[in-house]
Amino acid sequence: PEKKVLASSADLSPSYDWFQTDSLITIVIYTKQKDMNADLVIVDCQDKQLRGEIIMDDHSYLIEVVNIAEKVGKVEIILNKKDNVHWKMLGQPCEGHNTFMKRTDRGLFYRKCKLISKTEVTHDTKLFCLMLPKGTHLRVPTGQHVYLKHIIAGTEVVKPYTPVLPFLPLDFQELPCHDGVHIYLMIKIYSHGLFTQALDHLQIGDYISVSNPEGNFKKSQVQTSENLLLLAGGTGFTPMVKLLNFALTEVSCLRTVKLIFFNKTEDDILWRNQLEQLALKDERFEVQFILSQPSKDWVGKQGKISSSLLSEFVKRSRRDSKVLICICGPVPFTEQGVQCLKDLGYSQEEIHAFTA
């Protein structure tokens, strides 16, 4: 194979090679530097990209953007040397080095992210903007969540949250900042909530740990459907945000996207105005709000999830039309919803329930 020389002096410079088996691509990098330890190596790999930084005293060796060729599965790590120092070695292999295992068997990896802003969405829900550290490349795929970790009264507490977009884009031009640096979380603050109270007390500039993404939703489920139905209860709306945007901007076969959004009161409806704007703008999209504790002036639908309520909205356009129904909200809401859908004749394959 072609010999890769990354620095001026060939014998002291880092060098790498790669090899493959049917299931594995292994990249080997040599830095030739003493006193390296695991703390000095920061690597984040996700989706089709990989990024890593190796700290060497006051120098840093940066692995920057990568182009992963889908078809041949080739991973290219480009190392940007900050200074032209000679590297002797990359480091001793860590515990997980060069292993290939199930994602569920691999522990979650966290990095500390800075709180950039906190804006009100409703009376109890806020949009948190977190910034990934410079050495991290991480994009949370549609339908997946991350875990936030924080020490509360001396104990490590971990809770899952589903990243959203900073807003619902109304046209292709304003596609939200896929800058790869910011993560937006829409979080309801519970007055007696352990984690959300601590989150609410974070100051701008404070740090919080964010894990790698997780979740079993596959975009391909949407890519083959003609009708997409989203059933959300309260903050169960969060996975629907990226999903909605993905469906309306990237899925050409979709004819209708319907969101049925269950909340307690009008004041609890998240991004109501944005959803209404989107429905006006895109004729494929329709939104219906259903309240379980409406005030007297509410003229819209009311009630909780039930077969009779769903039967009004969930109708196949044709007997053989391809439908995907996504549901997310409080556990009993999701469980009842799935049961109702099955009672209405929808199959397991047509339903995706977001759960932990």
Which residue ranges make up the site for ligand NAD (CB under 6 A)? 145, 162, 188, 233-236, 238-239, 262-264, 268, 292, 304-305, 328-330, 332-333, 336, 354-356
Residues 210-249 that bind ligand FAD (CB under 6 A): 235, 238
Q: Are strands 110-120 and 125-131 parallel, antiparallel or unpaired?
A: antiparallel
- Asked if residue 262 lies in contact with residue 323, where contact means CB atoms within 8 angstroms, the answer is no
By CB under 6 A, which span of 102-110, 186-194, 204-212, 304-312 interacts with ligand FAD?
A: 186-194
Q: Is 149 in the site for ligand FAD (CB under 6 A)?
A: no
**Shortest distance (Å) from residue 192 CB to ligand FAD:** 4
- Binding partner at 27 among ligand FAD, ligand NAD, none, C-beta below 5 to 8 Å by kind: none
* Residue 49 C-beta: closest distance to ligand FAD, Å: 24
Does 160 interact with ligand FAD (rule: CB under 6 A)? yes
Q: Which two tokens stand for residue 331?
A: 């556990």
DSSP calls for 230-299: EEEEGGGGHHHHHHHHHHHHH-TT--EEEEEEEESSGGG-TTHHHHHHHHHH-TTEEEEEEESS--TT--
| Nearer residue to ligand NAD within complex by CB, 113 or 328 | 328
Q: How far apart are CA 180 and CA 189, in angstroms?
A: 26
Minimum distance from residue 185 beta carbon to ligand FAD (Å)? 6
Question: What span, in angstroms and rounded, lies between the C-alpha atoms of 6 and 8?
Answer: 7
Binding to ligand FAD (CB under 6 A) within 161-180 occurs at 161-162
Of positions 33, 196, 211, 336, contacts ligand FAD by CB under 6 A: 196
Q: How far apart are CA 215 and CA 146, in angstroms?
A: 9
Q: Which does 261 bind (CB under 5 to 8 A by kind): ligand FAD, ligand NAD, none?
A: none
Question: Are the CB atoms for 279 and 288 separated by under 8 Å?
Answer: no
> What residues does 263 pair with on adjacent strands?
291
Residues found near ligand FAD in the complex (CB under 6 A): 145, 159-162, 185-188, 190, 192-196, 235, 238, 356
